[in-house]
Chain A
C-alpha cells in the first residue's frame, strides 16, 4: 500500500546571484513495510530529497503527500508535530543527547511524540526496543561511554520507540566498519519488516543494497529508477 508520495518536488538553492536547481521534479512513492534504498553519485541530491521528504527543509515546488495531508502546505508547527509522532530519523552520526542515559534518550522521544501510554508501558516498550537493538545491557550508560556502533543502535532505537510510520535514514552505516554496518543494516531491514515501517534510506554501500526491497537511483536531481 502506498503510504508516502513525493510528487514533482523541486528544490532551488540561491548562492548569491547564482540559482541552482538541485531537485528537478522528483516523483517517488514509498510502500508500507518496504525498505527503499536511494543511491546515486555524490551531489546528485539524495540528502536534499530525504530531508525535504522528512519535513526538515522546505521544497521550492511540488507535493509531499502523507496520511491525506500535504507537508509542503503545512506550517512549521504542523510539520514538527508530524516529525515528532509519525517519523523516525537515523543519520550518519548518532546525534544522541550527551547528558541523557540510553534509557532517557528514548523517554525523551516518547515525551516529544506525546505518546499517551503510561509510565509502566513506557518502561516495557523501552526494554523491548533495547533488546531488539541489542542494547538492553547498557540502559543506564551515557553516550560518551558507548562505541560508534552502539551509539548508532541507540539512535535507531530512538527513531522507532514512538512507533513511527516512516523511517528516514541518511547513510546510517557510513561511520561504521563493515561488520558493524552489516549488523545495523540487517537490523534496519528486520525492523522495517517486523514493525511494518516505511523506510527510505540513502546509502553509498553497494553491499547493503541486497537488503533493500527497492533501489532508486538518483542522478543530477532526477530519479532514474532501476
Chain B
C-alpha cells in the first residue's frame, strides 16, 4: 500500500504549502543563477567563449591586465612553438558614432588568429550589441585617441569585455592609440602543461577571468546567494519534515508496534520529498525557461539547461539530506511511544 501517497492526498494543504515554498525558492535560485551567468557572459564573453587553454601575462604586471607587457622576443618564441597561440591586448576606450554620441567599448587587437576578428588598418569589427544602438556596416566612427576614422566592417556575436562591447581593431591602429609596442597577453589553446618562463605568469581560463576587475566580485556574491538559497531549501525540508515527524511520533510508534519496518517509514518520507521536489522543480524550471526566452535583450539573463539540471540535482540531494536528518527521530521512536502516551 502506498501510504506516502495516501497521506499527501488526505493532507493536500500541508504538502502544497511545502511544495510552493520549494517552488519559490528554486525559482529564485534559477533566476539568480541565470543572472549570474548572464552577467558573467556580459562581463567577459570574449574570454569565456575561448576554448580551454593557458593565458600568459608578464610577471611584473602582478595580475593586472593593463600593466602587462610581454617582451616581443618572448612572444615570438611562444607563438613559434604553438601554432594556434595568439597574442592580444585589451584597452577600455570610447568610439564616437556619426551623431557624435560616445560609446564605451573595449578595444581589442591580436596577432592573426581564428579566435579573434582580424581587421585592416582603419577598420573595426564591433560586438553585435552595437548594432542595436543604431550603428551599421559602413558607418565611420571616430575616437579621441585616433587621428583617422574607423570604418565598420561587420559585427561579431557575443564579444563582451568588462561589460563593454568589444571593438576589434588593427594592431597598428592600436599602437597609435595606446603608444604600446608590446602585447599584453598570450593565449595558448589546448590543455598542455604551461611553458615555464621567468618573465611570464600563467593562468587557467578561470584564474584569468578572476583577474578582470568586477568579474570576481560579481560572481562571488551571486554564487553566494545561489548557495544560500540551496542551503535554505535544504533547511526548509529538514524543518518541515521535522515538524511533521514530531506530530507523527505516536503514529510511527503504533506502526512500528504492528510490525511496519523502519525502512518503510523512511521510504514513505523520501517518496513525499521526491514527489514535492519534483513537482516544484517542474514548475520552476518551466517558468525560468520561459523567462529565459522572454527576457529583454539588454537584461543579462542566461540560464542554460545544463545549469538547471545541475541545480535540480543539488535540490534533490539537499532535500534528501534535510529530510533524512530530520527523520533520525523515526529511527529512535519506540513502538511503545504512542501506547504509553494516549491517543494519536
Question: Smallest CB–CB gap between A88 and chain B, Å?
Answer: 8
- A49-90 vs B, CB cutoff 8 Å, 1 = contact: the mask equals 001000011000000000000000000010011011100010
B259 pairs with A83, CB closer than 8 A:
yes
- B239-275 vs A, CB cutoff 8 Å, 1 = contact: the mask equals 0000000000011001111111100000000000000
List A contacts of B336 (CB < 8 A).
51, 56-57
Please name the residue on chain B nearest to A110 by beta carbon.
Answer: B1
Question: Smallest CB–CB gap between B4 and chain A, Å?
Answer: 10
A98 pairs with B3, CB closer than 8 A:
no
Please name the residue on chain A nearest to B10 by beta carbon.
Answer: A99
A89 pairs with B344, CB closer than 8 A:
no
Interface size class of B (residues with CB under 8 A): 20 to 34
Question: Of the candidates A80, A97, A109, which one forms a contact with B261 in the assembled complex, judged by CB atoms under 8 Å apart?
Answer: A80
CB of A224 within 8 Å of the partner chain: no
List B contacts of A84 (CB < 8 A).
258-260
CB of A100 within 8 Å of the partner chain: yes
Which of A57, A85, A89, A95 is most buried by chain B, counting CB atoms within 10 A of its CB?
A95
Question: Smallest CB–CB gap between A165 and chain B, Å?
Answer: 14
Measured in the bound complex, the distance between the Cα atoms of B254 and A94 in whole Å is: 10
A104 pairs with B339, CB closer than 8 A:
no
CB of B7 within 8 Å of the partner chain: yes
List B contacts of A108 (CB < 8 A).
1, 3, 260
CB of B34 within 8 Å of the partner chain: no
Please name the residue on chain B nearest to A83 by beta carbon.
Answer: B259
B258 pairs with A109, CB closer than 8 A:
yes
B257 pairs with A83, CB closer than 8 A:
yes
CB of B19 within 8 Å of the partner chain: no
List B contacts of A216 (CB < 8 A).
none
List A contacts of B334 (CB < 8 A).
57
- B327-341 vs A, CB cutoff 8 Å, 1 = contact: the mask equals 000000011101100
Question: Of the candidates B7, B10, B261, B339, which one forms a contact with A170 in the assembled complex, judged by CB atoms under 8 Å apart?
Answer: B339
Please name the residue on chain B nearest to A86 by beta carbon.
Answer: B259
Question: Smallest CB–CB gap between A166 and chain B, Å?
Answer: 13
A56 pairs with B344, CB closer than 8 A:
no
Measured in the bound complex, the distance between the Cα atoms of B255 and A112 in whole Å is: 9
**Given A51-B336, A93-B344, A95-B338: A100 and B259 interface contact (C-beta under 8 Å):** no
Measured in the bound complex, the distance between the Cα atoms of B124 and A86 in whole Å is: 88
A81 pairs with B257, CB closer than 8 A:
no
Question: Smallest CB–CB gap between B255 and chain A, Å?
Answer: 7
- B115-127 vs A, CB cutoff 8 Å, 1 = contact: the mask equals 0000000000000
Instruction: Give chain A interface residues in 124-157, CB to chain B under 8 Å.
Output: 142
Report the tally of A-B residue pairs with Cβ distances under 8 A.
68
A111 pairs with B6, CB closer than 8 A:
no
- B211-227 vs A, CB cutoff 8 Å, 1 = contact: the mask equals 00000000000000000
CB of B296 within 8 Å of the partner chain: no
B344 pairs with A96, CB closer than 8 A:
yes
Measured in the bound complex, the distance between the Cα atoms of B341 and A91 in whole Å is: 11
A81 pairs with B1, CB closer than 8 A:
no
List B contacts of A92 (CB < 8 A).
339, 342
Please name the residue on chain A nearest to B251 by beta carbon.
Answer: A97
Question: Of the candidates B3, B255, B259, which one forms a contact with A81 in the assembled complex, judged by CB atoms under 8 Å apart?
Answer: B259
CB of B343 within 8 Å of the partner chain: yes
CB of B144 within 8 Å of the partner chain: no
CB of B114 within 8 Å of the partner chain: no
B255 pairs with A97, CB closer than 8 A:
yes
CB of A113 within 8 Å of the partner chain: yes
A95 pairs with B261, CB closer than 8 A:
no
B259 pairs with A95, CB closer than 8 A:
no
Which of B6, B257, B342 is most buried by chain A, counting CB atoms within 10 A of its CB?
B257
List B contacts of A100 (CB < 8 A).
3, 6
A107 pairs with B344, CB closer than 8 A:
no
List A contacts of B147 (CB < 8 A).
none
**Given A83-B257, A96-B344, A108-B3: A142 and B10 interface contact (C-beta under 8 Å):** yes
A51 pairs with B339, CB closer than 8 A:
yes
CB of A31 within 8 Å of the partner chain: no
Measured in the bound complex, the distance between the Cα atoms of B342 and A134 in whole Å is: 25
A56 pairs with B339, CB closer than 8 A:
yes
**Given A56-B339, A99-B6, A104-B6: A85 and B259 interface contact (C-beta under 8 Å):** yes
Residues of A participating in the B interface, judged by any CB pair closer than 8 Å: 51, 56-57, 77, 80-81, 83-85, 89, 91-100, 104, 107-109, 111-113, 142, 158, 170
Query: 7 A-B contacts, Cβ less than 8 Å apart?
Result: A56-B257, A56-B339, A57-B336, A92-B342, A94-B343, A100-B6, A109-B258
- Going nearest first, the 6 A-B pairs with the smallest beta carbon separation are A84-B259, A99-B10, A95-B254, A93-B343, A99-B7, A83-B259
